[in-house]
Chains A and B, each alone.
Chain A
Amino acid sequence: MSILEVEHISKSFNKTEALRDISFSLEKGQAVSIIGSSGSGKTTLLRCLNFLETPDKGIIRVNGETLFDADNPATRAESAIRKKRLHFGLVFQSFNLFPQYTALENVMLAKELLAKEQPDYKTRKKEIHAEIQSLSESLLSQMGLDNRKDSYPHQLSGGQCQRVAIARALALNPDILCFDEPTSALDPELTGEVLRVIKELADHDTTMVIVTHEMAFAKDVADHVIFMDGGSIVEQGDPVQIFENPAEERTQRFLGTG
């Protein structure tokens, strides 16, 4: 069974159709790259998966559970959405780290707040805190940030910030980790360190949806590639096929292989 099933998602802003009839699925441990020009709807799709936008039509299923069904008002209730979001993690283009917290505090904050909802929180407070701290420290060291955990975001480079943001998303152990052009705000020389980290996650079978403009990376990291244009999926399939032998004329033009 697929870990993620997206069926017939559509979304309009006023009269502009941002997404038209988007369907795809993803297997556990696989990575999908979404490519396409700016304004093709890639980011809107990720925002729908993370419930930052509400699709007008369609269904989103994770592990067979229907998280969203536009025809079923019960799945649209604001109160239920918060827990549903936890199935997904999202790494933003502009990091969106919390500036008043250190790298470590950024990674720990959400998990600590969630822990407060556990029934045994009061009795195991110290223990839980220590667990979250050691988990967060190990995530930061996995990101190569051992010696930067007490730095504030403004003291870190863009690449370091993005790696903190990745650790922050991983701390909640999401089923599916989404990346929204994670290197677009970075200097070219900082891009590599972030891509390397994402590649490592892929090698460790992290389930990921990656929106990117880095074509070589998209081909290298993904098990499946989706090419979008004008809010629709033009073509999707195996990375080698899409990049080396695209079927659609629009894809050929985008990749410059036509």
Chain B
Amino acid sequence: MDRIFEQMPVVISSLNIGFIQTLKLFFVTLLGAFPLGLLIAFGSMSHFRPLSYFSKFVVWIIRGTPLMIQLLIIYYFPGLVLHNPVWGGGEAGRFLAASVSFILNYACYFSEIYRGGIQGVPVGQEEAGLVLGMTKSQIFFKVTLLQMIKRIVPPMSNEIITLVKDTSLARIIALQEIIWAGQAFMKGSHGISGAIWPLFFTAVYYLIFNGILTVLLGRLEKKLNYFR
């Protein structure tokens, strides 16, 4: 126990650096997947058959295979198979490949949530807007948008909390996120070796961050509870 207290300052500062990489991946994924998911949702709802089939095909592939495999393929395929290492070397290259994988993966899940939200607003809402002389865009922004947001917040919250934990999968391509940083103390890092507790301790970071997210998303959900 004494040894843990001795090691604590070094470990914490190293884990903090790893967690910053975790957070970067988390926010970049959200930033990319929110709009891309909307595009895929519109694609799969399109009346233009080839586009809707293509969107649904992509969603099927991405949701039907493990994110870890997608990470490995996206990171290694260009360099090892095509001999064209598009991601570049080092941490920056790994981060880029991880971001692309996560954005694509999460956009597909988000697209299904958006689709449910959009199709869940009764058609009568749009018709009521039309007979009142509103334009399509007025109907979208003034009538249906908020009702969609209200519908997608609970399932989105679920996905966002899962994403926090899923970022740890980027360890598989050696992205230096918090799991990687914790594991490093087993082999030897900063003069500490053979310590497994830092790896276990990373769970506290996830737990606290998800605790904060749960409170914030819960507040948003409550805020939208003024109507039904």
Binding site for B on A (CB under 8 A): 50-52, 82-83, 85-86, 88-90, 92, 94, 96-101, 109-110, 113-114, 152-154, 168-169, 172
Q: Shortest distance in angstroms between B131's beta carbon and chain A's nearest beta carbon?
A: 4
**The 4 A-B residue pairs with the shortest CB-CB distance in the complex, in nearest-first order:** A110-B132, A96-B128, A96-B124, A154-B228
Interchain CA distance A94-B124 in the complex, whole Å: 8
The stretch among B7-15, B23-31, B50-58, B142-150 that forms the contact with chain A is: B142-150
- What are 6 contact pairs spanning A and B, CB under 8 A? A51-B130, A85-B130, A100-B146, A109-B132, A113-B133, A114-B133
CB distance from B37 to the nearest CB of A (A): 23
Pair A98/B127 contact, Cβ less than 8 Å:
no
- B134 interface residue (CB < 8 Å to A): yes
Decide: A52 near B125, CB < 8 A? Known: A99-B147, A99-B227, A154-B227.
no
Report how far A152 CA is from B227 CA in the complex, Å.
Answer: 7
B66 on the interface (CB 8 Å rule)? no
In whole angstroms, how far apart are the Cα atoms of A113 and B129 in the complex? 11
Expressed in whole angstroms, the Cα–Cα distance for A90 and B122 within the complex equals 17
Is A85 a contact partner of B143 (Cβ separation < 8 A)? no
Give the interface size class of chain B: 20 to 34
Q: Shortest CB–CB separation between residue B153 and chain A, in angstroms?
A: 14
**Is B138 close to A, CB under 8 A?**
yes
Residues A110 and B133 in contact, CB atoms below 8 Å apart: yes
Q: Is B226 an interface residue (CB 8 A)?
A: yes
| Bound-complex Cα distance A101 to B150 (A) | 14
Q: Which residues of B contact A96 (CB under 8 A)?
A: 122, 124-125, 127-128
* Contact A88 to B131, CB < 8 A, known contacts A100-B227, A109-B142, A113-B142: yes
B84 at the interface (CB under 8 A from A): no
Chain B proximity of A120: nearest CB distance (Å): 19
- Asked if B158 is at the interface (CB within 8 A of a chain A CB), the reply is no
Which of chain B's residues 206-228 have a Cβ closer than 8 Å to chain A? 226-228
> Bound complex: CA of A32 vs CA of B22, how far in Å?
68
Q: Smallest distance from the beta carbon of A20 to chain B beta carbons, Å? A: 24
B221 to chain A, nearest CB (A): 15
Q: Are B133 and A86 in contact (CB under 8 A)?
A: yes
Q: A52-B127, A94-B124 are in contact. Are A168 and B226 (CB under 8 A)?
A: no
**Neighbouring A residues of B193 by C-beta, 8 Å:** none
Is the CB of B135 closer than 8 A to any CB of chain A? yes
Output the nearest chain A residue to B128 by Cβ-Cβ distance.
A96
Q: Please, how many angstroms separate the alpha-carbon atoms of A117 and B19 in the complex?
A: 52
| Cβ contact within 8 Å between B124 and A172 | no
Known: A100-B146, A101-B227. 7 other contacts (CB 8 A): A50-B131, A83-B133, A99-B227, A110-B134, A113-B133, A169-B131, A172-B133
**Residues of chain A contacted by B134 (CB below 8 angstroms):** 82, 110, 113
B146 touching A89 by the CB < 8 A rule?
A: no
User: Bound complex: CA of A90 vs CA of B131, how far in Å?
Assistant: 7
